[in-house]
């Protein structure tokens, strides 16, 4: 790697600032960074207080600074994971527009599970991650026509109240989880034999 | 490690490097809004570039995560503002600090390295016709980095 570090001598530290050609594979591995780290607790209630006020490990920390991965860095992690490919390739996703610095609009693809009416079908979806994602659930909408109990048959929108992964949304969940869960629903006992619209039709 | 964070933040906010400012979000002290002024003599001169920086839980054992929010025409910065800089990756050392990282990014604006690109189209432009590529960088700076 060429030593392109251009720090002026006065500012140089022991690091040479070289550039390199690829993004780290490591960053996508960290999917559980939003665990809270308990803060130092300099101000425990003095022991002279009624013992009921004493901090106990059983109680949640009284001061709990957020240490959550911010939306954009979370979405960058998801993007890198999606670019590398997830699982067996039966679900995939990526940015709708590679220029979208806010990373709000995503495309998803689900390959219909085998031994069901969905076998060999390729379903396209749109996923919208709003400004409060991942604290807020994403909006999901089918582009490909599909008959499922949680999909609005007029516009393809997924009714989040009818899909557990969205109804019980938490910030630990991801676009990948949503697609994988939808695919599982396609293969469920109740849905695997539902009559389907013609292959390739769209909402 | 934990106690190092607020002190470092305090120093960073109180004594920022020339042309660099960083302020933590009120609701997340590990998440910073950063502004870097384009170095004089570079095509990014007079530009004010917004970035975001996040200290992961593993910091300082792991590097901060940084990206540009302002569009920039630079061979080592891609369309999503991701930066290709070795100290943000395998050359990270816990001895480095947020300040050092931001100074290195500022230095990267002065010395693009098209031989080791992240934005391949921009790098190609820089290699084939540096003057013209710098003209585009200046145009983007005037258009987006105000």
Alpha carbon A76 to chain centroid, angstroms = 10
Domains by residue range for chain A, with CATH: 93-187 (3.10.110.10)
B95-131 tens-digit pLDDT: 998 999 999 999 999 999 988 888 889 999 999 999 9
The reported pLDDT for the residue numbered A33 is 41
Q: What is the mean pLDDT of each successive set of 10 residues along chain A, which is 203 residues long?
A: 40 45 42 45 46 46 62 96 88 95 97 95 97 97 97 97 97 96 96 94 94
> What pLDDT is recorded for position B4?
58
Exactly one of B5, B84, B96, B118 is catalytic; name it. B84
- Return the DSSP state at A162: G
Q: Which residues contact B141 (CB under 8 A, 6 or more apart)?
A: B38, B43, B44, B45, B46, B47, B72, B73
Q: How many CB pairs under 8 A join A and B?
A: 118
Mutate to test the interface with A, among B3, B50, B86 (most CBs of A within 10 A): B86
Contacts of A79 in chain B (CB under 8 A): 80
Q: Which CATH architecture has domain B7-145?
A: Roll (3.10)
The question of whether B47 is a catalytic residue gets the answer: no
| pLDDT, tens digit, 9 for 90 and up, residues B20-76 | 999 999 889 899 999 999 999 999 999 999 999 999 999 999 999 999 999 999 999
B84/A11 CB distance under 8 A? no
Q: Where are the domains of chain B?
A: 7-145
* pLDDT for the residue numbered B6: 74
Is A25 an 8 Å CB contact of chain B?
A: no
Min Cα–Cα distance to chain B from A15, Å: 7
Q: How many CA atoms lie within 13 A of B29 on its CB side?
A: 17
What pairs with residue A45 in β-bridges?
none
Q: A140 has which bridge partners?
A: A127
Residue B130 C-alpha, separation from nearest chain A C-alpha, in angstroms: 17
Are A129 and A112 in contact, with CB atoms under 8 Å apart?
no
Q: How far does the CA of residue A69 sit from the closest CA of chain B (Å)?
A: 7
ipTM of this complex prediction, to 2 decimal places: 0.91
Structure tokens at B76: 């080592």
Kindly state whether B136 is in contact with chain A, defined as any CB-CB distance less than 8 angstroms: no
Q: At what angle do helices B130-144 and B120-128 cross, to 10 degrees?
A: 130
B106 DSSP 8-state letter: H
């Amino acid at each position: 790697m060429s030593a392109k570090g251009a720090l002026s001598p006065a500012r140089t530290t022991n690091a040479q600032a070289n550039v390199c050609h690829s993004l780290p594979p490591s960053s996508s591995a960290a999917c559980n960074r939003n665990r809270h780290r308990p803060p130092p607790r300099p101000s425990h209630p003095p022991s002279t207080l009624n013992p009921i006020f004493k901090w106990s490990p059983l109680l949640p920390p009284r001061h709990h600074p957020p240490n959550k991965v911010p939306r954009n860095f979370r979405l960058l992690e998801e993007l890198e994971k999606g670019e590398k490919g997830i699982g067996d390739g039966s679900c995939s996703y990526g940015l709708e527009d590679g220029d979208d610095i806010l990373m709000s609009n995503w495309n998803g693809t689900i390959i219909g599970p085998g031994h069901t009416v969905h076998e060999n079908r390729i379903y396209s979806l749109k996923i919208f991650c709003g400004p409060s994602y991942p604290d807020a659930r994403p909006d999901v909408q089918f582009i490909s026509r599909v008959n499922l109990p949680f999909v609005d048959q007029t516009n393809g929108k997924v009714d989040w109240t009818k899909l557990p992964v969205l109804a019980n949304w938490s910030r630990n969940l991801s676009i990948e989880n949503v697609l994988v869960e939808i695919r599982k629903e396609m293969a469920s006992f109740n849905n695997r034999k539902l009559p389907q619209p013609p292959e390739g039709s769209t909402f | 490690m934990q106690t190092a964070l607020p002190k470092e933040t305090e120093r960073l906010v109180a004594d920022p490097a020339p042309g660099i400012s960083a302020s933590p979000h009120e609701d997340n002290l590990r998440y910073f809004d950063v502004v870097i002024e384009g170095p004089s003599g570079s095509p990014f001169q007079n530009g004010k570039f917004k970035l975001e920086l996040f200290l992961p839980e593993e910091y300082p054992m792991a590097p901060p995560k940084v990206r540009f929010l302002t569009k920039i025409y630079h061979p080592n910065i891609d369309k999503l503002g991701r930066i290709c800089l070795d100290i943000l990756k395998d050359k990270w050392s816990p001895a480095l600090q947020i300040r050092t990282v931001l100074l290195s990014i500022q230095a990267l604006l002065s010395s693009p390295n098209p031989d080791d690109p992240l934005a391949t189209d921009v790098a190609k432009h820089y290699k084939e016709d540096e003057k013209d590529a710098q003209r585009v960088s200046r145009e983007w700076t005037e258009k987006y980095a105000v």
